[in-house]
Amino acid sequence: MEHKKVRVRFAPSPTGGLHLGGMRTVLFNYLYARQHKGDFVLRIEDTDQTRYVAGAEEYILECLRWCGLEADEGPHAGGPYGPYRQSERKDMYRQYAEQLVKDGYAYYAFDTPEELDAMRARLKTDDNPSPQYNHIVRPHMRNSLRLLPEETAQLLAAGTPHVIRIKMPASEEVAFTDMIRGEVQFNTGTVDDKVLLKADGMPTYHLAVVVDDYLMKISHVFRGEEWLPSAPVHILLWRYLGWEEQMPQWAHLPLILRPDGNGKLSKRDGDRLGFPVYAMNWNDPRSGEFTKGFREMGYLPEAFINMLAMLGWNDGTGQELFTLDELVEKFSVSRVHHAGARFNIEKANWFNHQYLVKADNRRLAQLLMPLLQEKGVQASEEYVANIAGMVKERCNLVNEIWDHSFFFFQQPETYDTAAVKPKWNADKRQFFLEWGSVLETLSDFSLAGIEDSFKQLATSMNMKVGELQLPLRIMLCGGKFGPPVFNIAEMLGKHETIARIMKAVPVFDA
Shortest distance in whole angstroms from residue 440 CB to RNA: 25
Q: What are the strands, taking DSSP E only, across 307-452? A: 341-342
Closest of 95, 91, 85 to residue 43, by C-alpha:
85
Of the two residues 203 and 293, which places its CB atom closer to RNA in the complex?
203
Footprint of RNA on 61-100 (CB under 7 A): none
Single out the residue of 139, 262, 426, 506 in contact with RNA (rule: CB under 7 A).
262
User: Where does this chain touch RNA (CB under 7 A) — which range of 29-37, 126-134, 237-245, 365-373?
Assistant: 126-134
The H or E element that residue 185 is part of is strand 182-187
Segment (H or E) for 252: strand 249-253
Position 2, amino acid: E
Stretch 31-60 residues interacting with RNA (CB under 7 A):
45, 47-48, 51
CB-neighbour burial class of residue 447 (10 A; exposed 0-12, middle 13-18, buried 19+): middle
SS3 call for 184: strand
Nearer of residues 36 and 181 to RNA, judged by Cβ: 181
- Minimum Å gap between C-beta 37 and RNA is 26
Closest of 189, 188, 194 to residue 133, by C-alpha: 194
How many residues touch RNA under the rule CB under 7 A: the total is: 85
Q: Hey, which residues between 465 and 484 contact RNA (CB under 7 A)?
A: 465-467, 469-470, 473, 480-484
Pick the piece of the chain touching RNA (CB under 7 A) from 147-155, 179-187, 295-303, 497-505: 179-187
* Least spacing, CB of residue 488 vs RNA, in Å: 9
Site string for RNA, 346-365 (x = CB under 7 A): xx-xx---------------
Q: Look at residue 197 and give its three-state secondary structure.
A: strand
CB-based contacts of 180, cutoff 8 Å, min separation 6: 251, 252, 253, 254, 333, 334, 336, 338
Looking at the Cβ atoms of 202 and 279, the one nearer to RNA is: 202
- Rounded to whole angstroms, the Cα distance separating 341 from 257 reads 6
The string of DSSP codes covering 64-111 is HHHHT---SBBTTTB-TT---BGGGGHHHHHHHHHHHHHTTSEEEE--
Instruction: Pick one of 56, 61, 195, 476: the residue that binds RNA (CB under 7 A).
Output: 195
| C-alpha to C-alpha distance for 29 and 35, rounded to whole angstroms | 10
153 or 175: whose CB is closer to RNA?
175
Is there binding between residue 111 and RNA (CB under 7 A)? yes
**Contact yes or no for 17/296 (Cβ under 8 A):** no
Pick the stretch among 194-202, 240-248, 295-303, 491-499 that binds RNA (CB under 7 A): 194-202
Of 394 and 494, which CB lies nearer to RNA in the complex structure?
394
Q: Which residues within the stretch 412-471 sit at the binding site for RNA (CB under 7 A)?
A: 464-467, 469-470
- Residue 144 as a binder of RNA (CB under 7 A): the answer is no
**Among residues 455 and 503, whose Cβ is nearest to RNA?**
455
Least distance to RNA, CB of residue 209, Å: 8
Give the number of other CB atoms < 10 A from CB of residue 85: 18
Contact status: 133 vs RNA (CB under 7 A): yes
Handedness of CA 284, 290, 296, 299 (dihedral sign): negative
Closest separation in Å from C-beta 79 to RNA: 19
Q: Which stretch binds RNA (CB under 7 A): 96-104, 111-119, 358-366, 424-432?
A: 111-119
Active site residue ranges: 267
Task: Single out the residue of 8, 15, 13 nearest to residue 69, CA to CA.
Answer: 8
Least Å from the CB of residue 367 to RNA: 19
- Please identify, using beta-carbon distances, which residue of 5 and 337 lies nearer to RNA: 337
Which 198-217 positions form the footprint of RNA (CB under 7 A)? 198-200, 202, 204-205
* 418-427 own/partner pairs: CB under 8 Å, 24+ apart: 419/470, 419/474, 419/479, 419/480, 420/470, 420/471, 420/474, 420/508, 421/508, 423/467, 423/471, 424/471, 424/508, 424/509, 427/461, 427/463
Nearer to RNA, 185 or 443 (CB): 185
Residue list 300-319, contact with RNA (CB under 7 A) = 310-312, 314, 316, 318
For 214-245, the DSSP string reads HHTT--EEEEEGGGGGGHHHHHHHHHHTT-GG
124 binds RNA (CB under 7 A): no
